[in-house]
């Protein structure tokens, strides 16, 4: 009970609050931190520690998942539950802290959160936090703060936040939401943190990205946002939300990644452009490679691949080859959905 009361006192009550701890080693955000004091600190003497993506702050009795800025100076930690308080399911016991790791100092502490699940921090200490809600409700809130703990921006969603990112300069943030049956589901949104306003909001052209990169000019203006898919590559949006690399993305989906995903990409491409003979030729070549690489037991994907190949060959006017592809698809899956086409091709003859 003593520990619970102590931790509650440290992290505050239910209302959300940002505090800037008094710390003689903390510098104003505009100054450059010296690395020498941190270098002289022995690990046993540090108040803040960041190991294996976990941040601990001894003076705050804080432990949580942490992320570090690209320049290694800043760490943001998120804790969605205090020790011994797991029964407080609907209480705002979550917290987040911003640490100047080189100076071993806490610069901001955010309390009164539900479940801070994810964060990102820029090279200037600006950071964003994703605060999720409890239970079956699909919802969350993304908030941005500067290195002094002043709120720059907040956006509530009626959907779970899939991931987020922030530019190295701290001027821009991106949020991707998961699926939901309302207007907030499956969104890619870009924000100008200095203005506290959205730059674009749209359905992502490439699905859920793994990471994000921001290309900024010498004046700090965003040139484009890059979404990174680990298996297939990097693709860019303009600051206004225009997807700039549709052709490159389609080509990457057909040539890279798991063969199952390439077959699915071919199916989508032909459905979107069912009269394009040049595309059909490209799809046949891509499907031949994917089908060779597909594991033998994946008959479901092989049947789909043979059906799409048959459709592409039929579009190219290669009726005999299309018939053979359809027959192979039906042999693998009698319900693959090409019975009528098989009958029509057989009546037509070679």
Q: Each residue of 119-131: pLDDT tens digit? A: 999 999 999 999 9
Tokens of 133: 């809600």
SS3 labels along 310-347: HHHHHHCCCHHHHHHHHHHHHHHCCCCCCHHHHHHHHH
Quickly count: other Cβ atoms within 10 Å of residue 28's Cβ.
7
Instruction: Kindly state the DSSP code that residue 276 receives in the 8-state scheme.
Output: -
Quick one: average pLDDT of 71-79?
97
Tokens of 143: 């908030």
Q: What separation in angstroms does the CA of 268 have from each of 187, 272, 279, 319, 329? A: 20, 6, 12, 22, 18
Distance CA 182, CA 186 (A): 9
pLDDT tens by residue, 79-127: 986 545 555 556 678 999 999 999 999 999 999 898 899 999 999 999 9
Contact 210, 197 (CB under 8 A): no
Instruction: Return the ∠ at Cα 51 (arms to 39 and 210), rounded to 5°.
Output: 115
What is the number of H-type helices and E-type strands within the chain?
8, 18
pTM here is 0.82
Residue with tokens 């450059």, as numbered in its chain: 32
pLDDT tens by residue, 13-65: 444 556 656 543 443 333 333 333 334 455 668 999 999 999 999 999 999 99
């Amino acid at each position: 009970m003593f520990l619970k009361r102590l931790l509650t006192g440290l992290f505050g009550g239910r209302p959300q609050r940002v505090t800037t701890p008094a710390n003689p080693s903390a510098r104003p955000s505009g100054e450059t931190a010296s690395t020498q004091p941190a270098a002289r600190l022995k690990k046993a003497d540090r108040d803040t520690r960041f190991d294996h993506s976990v941040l601990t702050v001894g003076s705050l009795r804080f432990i949580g998942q942490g992320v570090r800025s690209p320049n290694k100076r800043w760490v943001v930690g998120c804790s969605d539950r205090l020790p011994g308080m797991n029964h407080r399911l609907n209480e705002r016991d979550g917290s987040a802290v911003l640490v100047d790791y080189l100076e071993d100092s806490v610069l901001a502490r955010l309390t009164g959160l539900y479940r801070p699940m994810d964060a990102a921090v820029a090279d200037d200490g600006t950071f964003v936090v994703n605060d999720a809600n409890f239970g079956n409700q699909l919802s969350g809130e993304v908030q941005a703060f500067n290195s002094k703990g002043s709120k720059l921006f907040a956006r509530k969603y009626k959907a779970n936040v899939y991931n987020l990112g922030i530019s190295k300069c701290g001027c821009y943030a991106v949020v991707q939401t998961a699926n939901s049956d309302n207007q907030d589901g499956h969104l890619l949104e870009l924000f100008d943190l200095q203005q506290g306003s959205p730059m674009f909001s749209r359905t992502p052209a490439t699905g859920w990205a793994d990471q994000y990169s921001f290309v900024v000019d010498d004046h700090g203006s965003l040139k484009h946002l890059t979404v990174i898919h680990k298996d297939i590559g990097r693709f860019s949006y303009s600051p206004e939300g225009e997807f700039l690399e549709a052709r490159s993305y389609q080509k990457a989906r057909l040539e890279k990644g798991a063969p199952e995903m390439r077959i699915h990409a071919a199916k989508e491409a032909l459905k979107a452009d069912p009269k394009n003979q040049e595309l059909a030729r490209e799809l046949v070549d891509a499907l031949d490679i994917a089908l060779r690489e597909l594991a033998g037991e994946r008959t479901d994907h092989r049947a789909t691949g043979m059906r799409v190949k048959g459709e592409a060959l039929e579009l190219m006017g290669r009726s005999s080859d299309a018939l053979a592809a359809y027959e192979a698809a039906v042999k693998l899956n009698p319900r693959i959905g090409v019975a009528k086409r098989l009958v029509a091709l057989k009546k037509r003859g070679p």
